[in-house]
Structures are given as C-alpha cells and as structure tokens.
C-alpha cells in the first residue's frame, strides 16, 4: 500500500528565504540604532583628539570633540553613551573619580546641557583609570584591593556623577556589595530615581587589551583575576547577577559578549531584568583587523555579530561599532 499522505502539506522553509522581503518579514531578531550604546573616552589636558591605535576609528576625546562625536551619534539614532574618563593626574586612591571638577563630571555636565533627556548618559564607575596602580579600588598595605574601603570611594563617585547629570550609574569594579552601597548612597543623596546598570558578570578576559590602551588603566602589577570572574564559570554568573538584582540593580550586564552568549541567555531568562551585553574592545579589534586584511566583509561581520548578541537576549548592546552600525540600520 502507498504511504498515507500527511494531513497537511510538508513545510519547506526555503520558501520564506527566497527574497529579501520574505526574509525580512519573518525575521525573528531585530537590530536598530536604538539598541546600541556607544562607549566614549574623554581625556583631560589634551588639545586635540588622540587616535587609539588598537581601535581604528576611536579616539581619546577633548571635551569639544566629545560633544561633536556625541552629536553625530545622536543624529544617527544612537541614544545612549557610556563615558570613560582619563584624568590629568592619578593617585593611590583615585580621587579624581569623585572630584566635582573631574573629567567625567565635566563631560557629563556638558553633554547634559547639550542633550537634556534626549540621550542617556551612562557613567562607568570604577577607579582603574584614576589610580596610579591601575587596580579597581584602594589597596591594603600588602597590595590587595580593600573591598569595603573601595565601596566608600564608589559611593562618593556615584554621587558626583549623579550630581553632574548622569542618567545611569554603571559600577564596573566587581566589588562585593557595590550595587547595594551605591543604591543606598544615591537614595540618601536625593537620586532615588537614578538607575544602576550593574556589571553583574564581568569576566577576567583577555579581550580588554585595546580598552586598556584607550583608558590608560592597565594594572601596574598583578592582574584583576582576584575580583573579576573566572571565564570557566557560568553558574557563578547567575549568582552574581541575582545578588546585584537583590541589591537594587535596574539593569544587568554581561562582559564580554561573544564568548559569553550562554551566560547572557541564562541571566536574561532566569532573572528577567533588562539585560545588557558589552561587545568589548578586543572583539571590535578582531573584526576590524580581519576586515582590513580582506579576510572577511567587515560590515556583514559587524551586523552578524551584533544581531547574534541581541538574539542571545541582550536588550542593549554596548559596542564600539555603534556609529558604523547605526549608519547601516
């Protein structure tokens, strides 16, 4: 006997891939300029923007060139900026991080005056760019990061950034209790409405090299493996993110992005908070270097990578490709 035909026609997925329009109509994951956050560097005491050799297309900005770059990004549809500062002088405590006239505070005031509430200004909160030893906090006499003493410096910095006009505070130092400490400081200082973007799962990655050139924040001795996460651990990331959520984080970040898409997926689906992925400097530089050598199509690779991060669960993607991607979206 001939086989019984199925009760409905057999699906042929290729039918919906036949033309660009059909592919677009059934596309599951969208990517728009408004999904992107642009990281920017501003340096005190320079007269002109300085190119970052390991990150083609990016600069250490003056205040004036920062404002111009921010305007170009906003005009292209990028509505959120992540600010990093390089001070003119460093010390053991990193005191320029909370100085009301520090470089990031000056940048926040300038950009807040330019954009008001039209662009979200995310202030990275850490001490590595500001300390003369390059670690993310103050040190004990034997050279270890003092967690609780560092939290006190973080509180001061959060208040200085909020007072200068930060829309969002983003603590990146991976100190225990940092989100709770900042939430209490902001609430007590009159900034209860200022959200916190927690670097919840920040790994001790090899992919930060270009950033450390850009931010001039490489540690002078040792490394950051004692406070950043072990790349082998996924369950620990869920525990870290859950702790940050319990302490009052409004958004959760995974950093880096591509090597940790599984972690991103788990945090988004287990905790349900708005989730951010940081497509870091090394990930950017690898695509740029391969494209410059003609080994791949740089624009296609860029959009494929950013789409994959969104598909894995990121509501927002922090990326050095923000300006280039927005131009194509």
Residues annotated as catalytic (active site), given as ranges: 202, 255
Instruction: Answer for the pair 36, 78: CB distance below 8 angstroms, yes or no.
Output: yes
SS3 (DSSP) at 136:
coil
Report how far residue 254's alpha carbon sits from residue 317's, in angstroms, rounded to the nearest whole number.
10
Instruction: Answer for the pair 318, 37: CB distance below 8 angstroms, yes or no.
Output: yes
- Listed in sequence order, the residues at least 6 apart from 315 whose beta carbon sits closer than 8 Å to its beta carbon are 35, 251, 268, 274, 275, 276
Instruction: Answer for the pair 244, 195: CB distance below 8 angstroms, yes or no.
Output: no
Report how far residue 228's alpha carbon sits from residue 120's, in angstroms, rounded to the nearest whole number.
27
- Sign of the dihedral through C-alpha 40, 79, 180, 107: positive
Q: Would you state the structure tokens that stand for residue 106, as one six-digit string? A: 């000056």
Q: Is 4 exposed, middle or buried (0-12, 13-18, 19+ CB in 10 A)?
A: exposed
DSSP-derived letter for residue 177 is T
How much of the chain is in helix, strand and coil states, percent to nearest 5?
Answer: 45, 15, 40
Q: Report which of 160, 159, 138 is spatially closest to residue 147, judged by C-alpha positions.
A: 138
Q: Which residue has the tokens 């951010």?
A: 276
Report how far residue 168's alpha carbon sits from residue 49's, in angstroms, rounded to the nearest whole number.
25
Taking residue 271's Cβ as centre, other Cβ atoms within 10 Å add up to 17
Q: Would you state the structure tokens that stand for residue 193, as one six-digit string? A: 């409405």
Report how far residue 111's alpha carbon sits from residue 122's, in angstroms, rounded to the nearest whole number.
11
């Amino acid at each position: 006997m001939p086989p019984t035909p199925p009760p409905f026609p057999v699906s042929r997925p290729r039918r919906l891939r036949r033309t660009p329009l059909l592919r677009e109509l059934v596309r599951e994951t969208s990517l728009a300029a408004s999904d992107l956050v642009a990281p920017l560097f501003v340096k005190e005491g320079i007269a002109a923007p300085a190119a970052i050799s390991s990150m083609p297309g990016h600069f250490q900005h003056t205040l004036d060139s920062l404002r111009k770059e921010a305007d170009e990004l906003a005009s292209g549809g990028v509505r959120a900026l992540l600010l990093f500062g390089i001070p003119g002088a460093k010390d053991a405590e990193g005191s320029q991080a909370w100085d009301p006239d520090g470089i990031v505070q000056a940048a926040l005031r300038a950009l807040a005056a330019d954009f008001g509430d039209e662009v979200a200004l995310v202030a990275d909160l850490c001490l590595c760019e500001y300390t003369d030893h390059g670690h993310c906090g103050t040190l004990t006499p034997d050279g270890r990061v003092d967690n609780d003493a560092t939290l006190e410096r973080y509180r001061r910095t959060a208040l200085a950034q909020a007072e200068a006009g930060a829309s969002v505070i983003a603590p990146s130092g991976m100190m225990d209790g940092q989100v709770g400490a900042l939430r209490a400081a902001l609430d007590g200082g009159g900034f209860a409405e200022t959200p916190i973007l927690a670097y919840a799962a920040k790994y001790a990655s090899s992919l930060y090299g270009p950033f450390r050139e850009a931010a001039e924040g490489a540690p002078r001795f040792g490394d950051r493996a004692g406070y950043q996460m072990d790349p082998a651990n996924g369950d620990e990331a869920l525990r870290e993110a859950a702790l940050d959520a319990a302490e009052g984080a409004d958004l959760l970040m995974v950093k880096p992005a591509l090597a940790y898409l599984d972690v991103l997926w788990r945090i988004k689906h287990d905790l349900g908070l708005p989730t951010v992925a940081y497509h870091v400097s090394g990930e950017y530089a690898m695509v740029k270097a391969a494209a410059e050598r003609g080994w791949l199509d740089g624009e296609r690779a860029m959009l494929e990578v950013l789409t994959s991060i969104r598909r894995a669960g990121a509501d927002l993607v922090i990326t050095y490709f923000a300006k280039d991607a927005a131009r194509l979206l």
